[in-house]
Structure 1
Amino acid sequence: MIQTSARLLQLLSLLQVRREWTGAALADRMGVTERTVRRDIDKLRNLGYPIHASPGITGGYQLGAGAQLPPLLLDDNEALAVALGLNSVAAGPVAGIGEASVRALAKLEQVLPARLRPKFAMLKAAVTTLPSNAASVDPQQLTALSAAISDRRYITFDYVKSDGDAARRLVEPYRLVDTGRRWYLVAWDVDRTDWRIFRADRMASLPTERKKYEPRPLPAEDLAAYVQQSITRSPYRFDVVVRLRAPLTDVAAVAGPHASLTAEGPQSTILRAGWDNLAAPAAHLAALDMDFEIIGPAEFKSFALDLSRRLVAAAGM
């Protein structure tokens, strides 16, 4: 009985870490026969786990969605990571799940093993999340995108650009990137035959899955850095470029993760960042308390000049 229970836990753990397994692969991984795997699959189904089977040579087993959520298996590090994430998610850029995260955290804390409680308490006390102006995203959006990425399926969705124009897009989704302020999807745009980065908060409809696609080489090895470099331009109305009279290390400490920084010399740094309006970068740069020179765009120079006149008038000078 103990051996069978341990084997069921191992099987469930394997099904949770990969989207699909063949019976032969599971049998090889667990050191049992395929017949034993089939029997264990049936036992898990009887316990409420929705495990789907597809026939044929390329078929296999997949842990799917059911009528209710069965228990999940988490190791110590996974449990701590989930608990800490739930504790801070209310201040994150995913809308509408703050209350649900509190309920889930209460359930998880109730069953945390005694050995993990002190460690979680220390982590919880050491982490403070400041309120954010991050763009909120429907969690269903992220879930649907993640599923399509995992299954390698084409998706279609309505997308609203910064100028307000909307269009239907057909893409191959490859990666979701969270910059702290926004979620971005790295995808191959089928109609434009090129790589594109889409802001999740600008998707006006839930993604609709289509047929599977064959993966193509990625545009960069580090997709997070690729997004960081790309978002200074295309997703925003204004590509703001300024020269700060300060060393790169000083600017990096206060500029925020959304800015691209380049050292121009020991006492000069070029900052590039994308913005949807010009008041935001003006306020941000003023808050840095560093001398700077606006390189572009021309609209930002005009905005800064007009703002300076109004500030001088407001000061009665």
Structure 2
Amino acid sequence: MPDVTRRMLDLLAQLQTGRRFSGHELAGRLEISPRTLRRDVERLRDYGYPVTTQPGPSGFYQLAAGRTLPPLVLDDEEAVATLVGLALLGATAPPEPEGHADMGTAADRAFGKIDQFLPKRLRPQVGALRSTVEAAPLAAPAVDPEALTALGLAAARHEVVTFDYTSRSGRITPRRVEPYRQVHLHLRWYLLAWDIERADWRTFRLDRVAGITRTAAPFTPRPLPARSAADYLRAGLTAGRHRAVAVVEAGASAVADALKFQDCDIEPLSADRCRVSIRVDSFEWMILTIAFLGVDFHLEEPAEFRDRSLELADRLRAAATARG
């Protein structure tokens, strides 16, 4: 990346914190001269970023709130990542169109016009990538971007929200919760929150949430009930399943590809060996899935896993030797 581009990105990263910087402090952080700093600030203004300055001994630089979105200062890798991310998100769509905004359609619109917000230098590369990238459609429940925004603001500001929630059986109940995290897992969006009426942690699918109201009532944040919201959600979704652990004589990437649609942990042990921990409804399913890799593997736990493997092996051997 050219030095000037890197310098501009570093300058923008500092200013986007929203705080005020003296010229001396900002030049020192970026390791440039005051003259270069002034020139780079003018470049940012040319790009459309509203940088406020105040001269004098108590002077400062600060990025003010603008009324329009200025050109994005992205390097090549960031531009590619942005475009691919929008393409993947845009490929998700509800099984049946519901006639209102959702994340997939919003991403699809942004995918089609992102070059309007990029510097001229990147527009040809991004345009070429956009015209040649396709993502296979994936059916996913629609989630309103405004719902994500409202819950995100409430969680960040520790503000109680209310909404109506539709259960799996179709029953609608009013909820009053302290929102903490929003988690995307298996093409679904979930909210982890403390349910005030039930005095317990709950996860809610956002496509079943309606009528979100921010109450302006504050709450004192509680410690999360797990290492992360994603861990808590995964534990809840896999409750009742069997935990199985196997050491596979294959690289972690090969095993991850075979189990790409499963919620599992893969620990590399060497370049061609890894440990797989997974919760499954059927031990036989996991045995066959790993066996299809065509490599050796060792069943660590539980003991039942090994017993079921022997039973399956006997059935397969009998099927192979039986005469009709």
TM-score by length of 2: 0.53
Residues 61-140 of structure 1 mapped to structure 2, 5 A cutoff: 70-77=67-74, 80=79, 83-92=83-92, 96=102, 98=104, 100-110=106-116, 112-121=118-127, 124=130, 129-140=135-146
How many Å apart are 1:176 and its aligned residue? 1.5
Residues 261-300 of structure 1 mapped to structure 2, 5 A cutoff: 261=265, 269-272=276-279, 289=292
Question: 1:208 and 2:213 equivalent?
Answer: yes
Q: 1:89 to 1:262 in 2, by over 3 A?
A: closer
Task: Confirm or deny: 8 A CA contact 1:244 1:270 kept in the other structure.
Answer: yes
Give, in whole Å, the separation in 2 of the partners of 1:200 and 1:88. Answer: 19
How many Å apart are 1:271 and its aligned residue? 0.9
How many Å apart are 1:147 and its aligned residue? 2.8
Number of aligned pairs?
240
Which of 232, 237, 243 aligns to 1:230? It is: 232
Q: 1:251 to 1:99 in 2, by over 3 A?
A: closer
Identity over aligned pairs, percent: 27
Give, in whole Å, the separation in 2 of the partners of 1:258 and 1:231. Answer: 15
1:215-242 deviation per Cα after TM superposition (whole angstroms, max 9, x unaligned)? 424317xx8x633333334347863544
How many Å apart are 1:259 and its aligned residue? 0.9
Give, in whole Å, the separation in 2 of the partners of 1:262 and 1:113. Answer: 40
Question: 1:176 and 2:182 equivalent?
Answer: yes
Task: Confirm or deny: 8 A CA contact 1:154 1:213 kept in the other structure.
Answer: yes
Give, in whole Å, the separation in 1 of the partners of 2:183 and 2:131. Answer: 27
1:260-305 deviation per Cα after TM superposition (whole angstroms, max 9, x unaligned)? 3377x978633126xxxx79x998986663699997xxxxx9xxx9
Give, in whole Å, the separation in 2 of the partners of 1:282 and 1:158. Answer: 41
Give, in whole Å, the separation in 2 of the partners of 1:237 and 1:135. Answer: 23
How many Å apart are 1:209 and its aligned residue? 1.0
How many Å apart are 1:182 and its aligned residue? 1.4
Q: 1:238 to 1:120 in 2, by over 3 A?
A: farther
Give, in whole Å, the separation in 1 of the partners of 2:178 and 2:130. Answer: 38
Q: 1:230 to 1:119 in 2, by over 3 A?
A: same
Other-structure match for 1:57: none
Q: 1:285 to 1:123 in 2, by over 3 A?
A: farther
Task: Confirm or deny: 8 A CA contact 1:189 1:196 kept in the other structure.
Answer: yes
How many Å apart are 1:185 and its aligned residue? 1.5
Task: Confirm or deny: 8 A CA contact 2:87 2:135 kept in the other structure.
Answer: no
How many Å apart are 1:118 and its aligned residue? 4.5
How many Å apart are 1:145 and its aligned residue? 1.6
How many Å apart are 1:210 and its aligned residue? 0.9
Question: 1:252 and 2:256 equivalent?
Answer: yes
- Code of the aligned partner of 2:279: R
Task: Confirm or deny: 8 A CA contact 1:161 1:235 kept in the other structure.
Answer: no
Give, in whole Å, the separation in 2 of the partners of 1:140 and 1:126. Answer: 30
Give, in whole Å, the separation in 2 of the partners of 1:243 and 1:202. Answer: 34
TM-score by length of 1: 0.53
Give, in whole Å, the separation in 2 of the partners of 1:180 and 1:72. Answer: 32
Structure exhibiting the larger radius of gyration computed from Cα positions: 2
Task: Confirm or deny: 8 A CA contact 1:232 1:239 kept in the other structure.
Answer: no
How many Å apart are 1:123 and its aligned residue? 5.9
| Secondary structure in 1 matching 2:258 | coil
Unmatched runs of 5 consecutive residues or more in structure 1: 1-12, 32-61, 65-69, 296-300
Give, in whole Å, the separation in 1 of the partners of 2:235 and 2:263. Answer: 11
1:46-80 deviation per Cα after TM superposition (whole angstroms, max 9, x unaligned)? xxxxxxxxxxxxxxxx979xxxxx52135312983
Q: 1:165 to 1:258 in 2, by over 3 A?
A: farther
Give, in whole Å, the separation in 2 of the partners of 1:254 and 1:167. Answer: 40
Task: Confirm or deny: 8 A CA contact 2:72 2:117 kept in the other structure.
Answer: no
